[in-house]
Amino acid sequence: MTEPRVSSIDGKLAEEFAAPSHVDEVRERIAAFARLHAEAGRCVVLISSGGTKVPLESRTVRFLDNFSSGRRGAQSAEYFLETGYAVVFLHRHRSLYPYARTLSSINVLDALEFSGGTQEPDRVVVNPEVLPNMAKVLKKYREVTDAQLLLPIEFSTLSEYLHLLKASAQSLNAIGSKAMFYLAAAVSDFYIPVCDMPEHKIQSSNGPLQLSLKMVPKILSPLVKDWAPQAFVISFKLETDAAILLDKARRALETYRHQAVVANVLDSRRGYVVVVTPTSQHEVVLSKEDVNNQVEIEERIVTNLTAAHERFIEQQVG
Ligand code: PMT
């Protein structure tokens, strides 16, 4: 296995983005997780999920954020687990989480009741009318956690995301082509370097605020070239203008030379995506019937990409 290389972006990362204090511990946990599952013959996918927060002050009161709920990442994680992958779930704090996402659209207290009426007020059970699938979901969650197949890693800020993704990539490099990166997170393109950030809360008494934001380095480049060069890498591309989407996806493949881009438009992202590779373009669409049957598009995306990953591994070995 090749050692991860140092990239030209490493210096910038160290200087302008504060690393989280537990980054080395995370690196070791992911390395141990990858070893365990590779020895058991499993592939490991790192899923990035949710939006990044960009602070405006060091002692942060205000920050820039984005729309991502983490639903794509959380749902995909479940389908990867069903397919037999072990999952590193690099997700935004409090964004949607595999299995627990079932609870995200309700007030949990509305799903609970006292089992023996007022006679036994301290025993609480789930109301199956509010959460009909809870036993099934809980069973799957327990199976996954008991088998240590899901490793959750949290981030909130852009800096945390960048450092944790780098550490993850360097650890997963040890399993070569058996590692997949599924980068569904919506990462900020703009930031304020730590050296330019005011320490204290920006005062509104100083008048209107003008911000000058720098461009975030494109992390896909060192990930593909230096940190995990043998891995199977999938990026996502989101646009609001469908007319430019496929062109942008193809340009990303030409620039970064990774394996696939999942292209989606903001308003239709739950029912339509295009999986673009250097040699193909595959539309994934949910029909009305699929929607009525509660099929989730992530199931189809994951089926498409795990098959492509299998072919990729065979080519590397063969
Ligand atoms: O979370 P949901 O509400 O379910 O929505 C899902 C989604 C729309 C967020 C998801 O499907 C999606 O499209 N995510 C990518 C959004 C995007 O357009 O990313 P981008 O063009 O800024 O970045 C391209 C790729 O590089 C992405 O895979 C991104 O995760 C990655 N990236 C980008 C910049 C950066 N500095 N580091 C990165 O890793």
Tell which atom from ligand 1 comes closest to the C-alpha of 75: 4
> Which pair of structure tokens corresponds to residue 163?
């450092």
Q: Domain end: 204, 230, 256, which one?
A: 230
pLDDT over 80 at 3, yes or no: no
155 and 225 in a single domain? The answer is yes
pLDDT over 90 at 287, yes or no: yes
pLDDT tens digits, one per residue of 202-259: 999 999 999 999 999 999 999 999 999 999 999 999 999 999 999 999 999 999 999 9
Buried b (16+ CB within 10 A) or exposed e, 141-166: beebeeeebbbebbbbbbbbbbbbbb
The structure tokens 């365990």 sit at 36
pLDDT over 80 at 6, yes or no: no
Which pLDDT does position 8 carry in this prediction? 78
Buried b (16+ CB within 10 A) or exposed e, 301-313: bbebbbebbeebb
State the pLDDT confidence band at 119, using cuts at 50, 70 and 90.
low
Q: Is the CB of 71 under 6 A from ligand 1?
A: yes
124 CA distance to ligand 1 middle (Å): 40
pLDDT over 70 at 165, yes or no: yes
pLDDT over 80 at 262, yes or no: yes
Atom 6 of ligand 1, nearest CA residue? 72
Atom 16 of ligand 1, nearest CA residue? 186
Tell which atom from ligand 1 comes closest to the C-alpha of 216: 36
293 and 154 in a single domain? The answer is no
199 and 307 in a single domain? The answer is no
48 and 95 in a single domain? The answer is yes
Total structural domains in the chain?
A: 2
pLDDT tens digits, one per residue of 9-54: 889 899 889 999 999 999 999 999 999 999 999 999 999 999 999 9
236 CA distance to ligand 1 middle (Å): 5
Report the CATH number that the domain containing residue 170 is assigned in CATH. Answer: 3.40.50.10300
pLDDT over 80 at 312, yes or no: yes
150 sits in which H/E element: strand 150-155
* Contacting residues for 130 by C-beta, under 8 A, at least 6 apart: 106, 110, 111
Stretch 151-157: mean pLDDT, rounded?
Answer: 98
Q: What is the C-alpha separation between 156 and 136, in angstroms, rounded?
A: 30
196 and 257 in a single domain? The answer is no
87 and 170 in a single domain? The answer is yes
Q: Domain end: 178, 208, 230, which one?
A: 230
State the pLDDT confidence band at 1, using cuts at 50, 70 and 90.
low
pLDDT over 90 at 122, yes or no: no
168 and 316 in a single domain? The answer is no
> Which pair of structure tokens corresponds to residue 4?
């991860």
In a domain, 133, yes or no: no
Residue span of the structural domain in which 306 resides: 238-318
Q: Is the CB of 166 under 6 A from ligand 1?
A: no
pLDDT over 80 at 263, yes or no: yes
